[in-house]
Structure 1
Amino acid sequence: MAAPVSFSKQIVPILADQCLECHRAEKAKGSYRLDTFEQLLKTGDSDAAPIVPGKAEESELYELLVADDDADRMPKKADALPEKDIALIRQWINEGAKFDGQDDKAELTSLLPQKKNQSPEKYPQPIPVTAMALNGDGKVLVTSGYHEVLAWDPETGKLRTRLSDMPERVLGLSFVKGGPWLAVAGGSPGRSGEVWLVNFAKPTERKRLAQMRDCALGVVTSPDGKYLVSGGADNRIRCYTLPEGKEIWNLEAHADWILAVAMSPDGSHVATASRDRTAKVMKTATREIEGTFTAHSVPVLSIAFAPDGQTLISGDADGQARPWGLDGKGVKDTTLRPAGRSAVLAVSYLDGNTPLTGSASGQVSVIDAKTRKTRSTLAKHEDRVNALLVFGAGEKQKVITASHDGEVRVSSSKDNKELGKFIASPGW
């Protein structure tokens, strides 16, 4: 006799992938939610029972999945579910629509099965570094891996540890108040996206905060450790409270992918850069949009707040970096051109509000804001610079840069001296 259908193992993945985006607390189309099992059983605007245990044909959820009219069928504006998925839902309802979790009020995403993904012991070739973060004392540098997060000693380049069972591609990393908790964003392009909270000191302590239809492309946490914000290829930005990881708002902030996110030094504002050629600033606690910057004529690839928290810089695909204010207004004749027309993939600031850029040419440039040109070259990678971060201040200030060929470089911002470099891939 075949085993009964498991709600948590077989039904939840379908609902999370195909239905949750339009039927959750922040966006309950038809006043129907299914972000928890308790909500799944409640009626929406139609007043028809979504689930009638033992009777799939009388359950509105099932009826909408098999409707002949495209205008009525769910999911809206998408292909019908595969027949095998519809069959599973039908069988589960007919078997009594049983709940096999521990708490019917828990988020469905918390019930998703955790897959064991195998990362290579030694990488056959260096993997691109698409994200990195440094812990509070500067002794642990984490970088993106394949289904894992890799931790290094930034001074020696020695591999410290590996956090396994992470998204296929890790595209955003941020320590919470310097650690040990680490925010991880990523996914499988075109298929799924994930945001995780992982205890670096005890990797088994982890929580998946969100799963979406496409990749989460960036994540940032507030300096006080109260908020976590992510953005991604579903054009949405999501804000969670920490340490509980509860979503407090979810906003479709852009008309295209959100490629980068940044947090102000005091945590009061979050900024986004998008493929729709705009950048935005919003209040972290309320999601209120304070400014939209529209001066870029091409996709905006990177963004950062200045140390004063009142101005920002955003880099675009045309090789320009533009400073602007919280109200979304730029200043005439302030466009920075650090490396010709090479895309500006990463931006930050050195001491004294000095702009720093990483470009697709591999060049890391210190910019003179007055002349709007490169003052000095901090590093020159052989491949595109995907990420950079600044650590420390004064004469001890360091800049860490990472490129698409897997190379990480540590440089002194004071004299542009290279302090070390290594390939951030096990076996290299």
Structure 2
Amino acid sequence: MPHTSLFLLSALAFLSLSVAAEESVNYEEHIKPIFREHCLKCHGDDEQKADLNLQSHASTLKGGSGGVAVVAGRSSQSLLFQSITDPDDDARMPPKKPAIPQAQTALIQKWIDTGLRETSASQSMVAERDLSFKPETNAGGKPAVPVMPGALPEVKLPTMKRPLPVLTLDASPWAPLAAVAGQDHVRLMNLDTQAEAGRLSFPEGEPHLLRFSRDGAVLMAAGGRPVELGKVVLFDVKTGKRLALVGDEVDAVLAADLSADQKSVALGGAGKLVKVYDTTSGKLRYKIEKHTDWIMAVAFSPDGKTLATADRAGGLHLWEAASGRALLSLNEHKASIRALDWRADSKLLASAGEDGLIVWWDVKDGWPAISKADAHPPARAPGTYGKIANGVLAARFDHEGRLCTAGRDRRVRLWDAGGKEIQSFAIADAQPLSAALSFDGKKLIGGDTAGNVHFWNLETKK
């Protein structure tokens, strides 16, 4: 056999072994050698600084005086991984030495995230979860006749030197209709014709958040004028009539949502408070004061039981929707959370942030069932140096459990119910800020910083 063929066979065999090893990273074969090289002098059988012994699998799981060192399935929340990847040279482990090579830290991360196996024969310590989704059982709120706009009152548009960026948009859950933010108004667009179907006046200023009700009959518009006022308005989609005016903020409302029964509105912004109002009386029902930074996203679960709230510091919390009682804190994001959305069955909550992370949360216990780091990685332009701005700016589920997102890579992406990317679409000359899927799941809609609305056909990929 020629030498070249022997070399290729050997290379393929080595590659196969490497892949197999990576898929079942375990303590004895892969992690202990790394600990022996970098850690056991201070954290072994002879000496245990901070009472942490990494000499065996059992002692590693036991942790030390600082608490549990490794959490199965969550490297981001594991003290050991945090300590060896700390960007501060004085705080990073091992002390006064170069950082552990990236390939080795990646292997430790893989070991933690895949379940802390002791040997190749060991079972993962990450519990299996039922994340199945059955679209046919989640058609709550579907009206007998989908609501489309009738003859709406004429809205005079303000004079603008340039279009307002499309800060937000939403698609009706049951009709070929989209709502798009504009200065002092909301555009309603027919998704079949891509033509304007009417306008709704929003003299309060800039709409920062648009959401259709679960039945598609009501549109919520939240926004205002920076350092001046903030309001939430509920519109009748068919007639354009104002049904309710909620809130009296001294700054623009940045985040808001309408409950599934349309009886409550939650809002938040630069004031760091979440306020929940009764839509009938307009009275404040309760406040949430836990957040330490601007409120960037709020979302009621479709079953009406839970309220999720997120802030600019990466804080994410779940509350009992009826009372505001604290339920869970979800710790994963390291930067501003820009979007929250619930899957139709209320089992999963998606969060997306400026750290480039998308998380599908199992809200039963607050576990990050699916995580996508660097979900929208921007390409490095020639001649640029340092850290490139990353981030996910929008996220919305559809009836099928798919998620669409918009990111700083100037792409709108579509993910299936299991978190696998299906398609992506580029916007060449502007940054996408908002995205949604049409009611029938056939079209993807995106809005950008230049004020443009983009329509993509998912079947033709155009």
**Normalized against structure 2, the TM-score is what?**
0.58
Matched, 1:358 2:402: no
Deviations along 1:20-43, one digit per CA (max 9) or x if unpaired, are xxxxxxxxxxxxxxxxxxxxxxxx
Matched, 1:385 2:406: no
Say if 1:128 and 1:256 are closer, same or farther in 2 by CA, change over 3 A.
same
Identity %: 24
Alignment-derived partner of residue 417 in structure 1: 461
Instruction: Show structure 1 runs of 5+ residues with no match.
Output: 1-116, 419-428
Say if 1:389 and 1:317 are closer, same or farther in 2 by CA, change over 3 A.
same
Q: How far off is 1:202 after superposition? A: 4.5
Deviations along 1:219-242, one digit per CA (max 9) or x if unpaired, are 222233232222222112222334
Write the distance in 1 (CA, Å) between the matches of 2:198 and 2:416: 39
Deviations along 1:192-214, one digit per CA (max 9) or x if unpaired, are 22222333444464543111122
Q: How far off is 1:274 after superposition? A: 0.9
Alignment-derived partner of residue 424 in structure 1: none
Alignment-derived partner of residue 309 in structure 2: 272
Write the distance in 2 (CA, Å) between the matches of 1:205 and 1:305: 26
Write the distance in 2 (CA, Å) between the matches of 1:135 and 1:250: 29
Alignment-derived partner of residue 157 in structure 1: 194
Q: How far off is 1:348 after superposition? A: 2.4
Out of 279, 296, 302, the residue aligned to residue 339 of structure 2 is: 302
Write the distance in 2 (CA, Å) between the matches of 1:322 and 1:120: 39
The residue correspondences of 1:23-34 to structure 2 (distance < 5 A) are: none
Compare the two structures and name the one with the higher strand fraction: 1
Out of 139, 150, 158, the residue aligned to residue 120 of structure 1 is: 158
Contact 2:356 2:376 in 1 (8 A): yes
Contact 2:313 2:334 in 1 (8 A): no
The residue correspondences of 1:251-262 to structure 2 (distance < 5 A) are: 251-262=288-299
Write the distance in 1 (CA, Å) between the matches of 2:250 and 2:279: 24
Say if 1:118 and 1:332 are closer, same or farther in 2 by CA, change over 3 A.
closer
Q: How far off is 1:345 after superposition? A: 0.4
Alignment-derived partner of residue 348 in structure 1: 396
Alignment-derived partner of residue 230 in structure 1: 267
Output the amino acid matched with 2:255.
G
Contact 2:399 2:439 in 1 (8 A): no
Q: How far off is 1:191 after superposition? A: 2.7
Output the amino acid matched with 2:275.
R
- Bigger mean CA offset, 316-325 vs 157-166: 157-166
Matched, 1:376 2:423: yes
Q: How far off is 1:361 after superposition? A: 2.3
Instruction: Show structure 2 runs of 5+ residues with no match.
Output: 1-154, 379-389
Alignment-derived partner of residue 449 in structure 2: 404
Contact 2:297 2:309 in 1 (8 A): yes
Write the distance in 2 (CA, Å) between the matches of 1:326 and 1:222: 18
Q: How far off is 1:343 after superposition? A: 0.9
Contact 2:307 2:319 in 1 (8 A): yes
Q: How far off is 1:170 after superposition? A: 0.9
Deviations along 1:41-89, one digit per CA (max 9) or x if unpaired, are xxxxxxxxxxxxxxxxxxxxxxxxxxxxxxxxxxxxxxxxxxxxxxxxx
Write the distance in 1 (CA, Å) between the matches of 2:173 and 2:322: 24
Say if 1:136 and 1:294 are closer, same or farther in 2 by CA, change over 3 A.
closer
Write the distance in 1 (CA, Å) between the matches of 2:230 and 2:330: 27
**Normalized against structure 1, the TM-score is what?**
0.62
Say if 1:379 and 1:241 are closer, same or farther in 2 by CA, change over 3 A.
farther
Write the distance in 1 (CA, Å) between the matches of 2:399 and 2:232: 31
Write the distance in 2 (CA, Å) between the matches of 1:222 and 1:332: 25
Output the amino acid matched with 2:374.
R
Contact 2:231 2:253 in 1 (8 A): yes
Write the distance in 2 (CA, Å) between the matches of 1:314 and 1:333: 11
The residue correspondences of 1:87-98 to structure 2 (distance < 5 A) are: none
Q: How far off is 1:187 after superposition? A: 1.4
Say if 1:272 and 1:223 are closer, same or farther in 2 by CA, change over 3 A.
same
Write the distance in 2 (CA, Å) between the matches of 1:381 and 1:330: 36
Output the amino acid matched with 1:365.
R
Say if 1:399 and 1:224 are closer, same or farther in 2 by CA, change over 3 A.
farther
The residue correspondences of 1:169-318 to structure 2 (distance < 5 A) are: 169-203=206-240, 205-318=242-355
Aligned-residue CA RMSD in angstroms?
2.9
Write the distance in 2 (CA, Å) between the matches of 1:206 and 1:308: 28
Write the distance in 1 (CA, Å) between the matches of 2:351 and 2:426: 20
Write the distance in 2 (CA, Å) between the matches of 1:297 and 1:330: 16
Say if 1:118 and 1:352 are closer, same or farther in 2 by CA, change over 3 A.
closer
Output the amino acid matched with 2:228.
R
Contact 1:366 1:377 in 2 (8 A): yes
The residue correspondences of 1:319-338 to structure 2 (distance < 5 A) are: 319-326=356-363, 329-331=366-368, 334-338=371-375
Alignment-derived partner of residue 75 in structure 1: none
Contact 2:222 2:255 in 1 (8 A): yes
Q: How far off is 1:268 after superposition? A: 1.8
Output the amino acid matched with 2:328.
G
Contact 1:358 1:387 in 2 (8 A): yes
Number of residue pairs aligned between Structure 1 and Structure 2: 297
Write the distance in 2 (CA, Å) between the matches of 1:215 and 1:290: 28
Deviations along 1:332-358, one digit per CA (max 9) or x if unpaired, are 883343221631001123565444321
Secondary structure of the corresponding residue to residue 371 of structure 2: coil
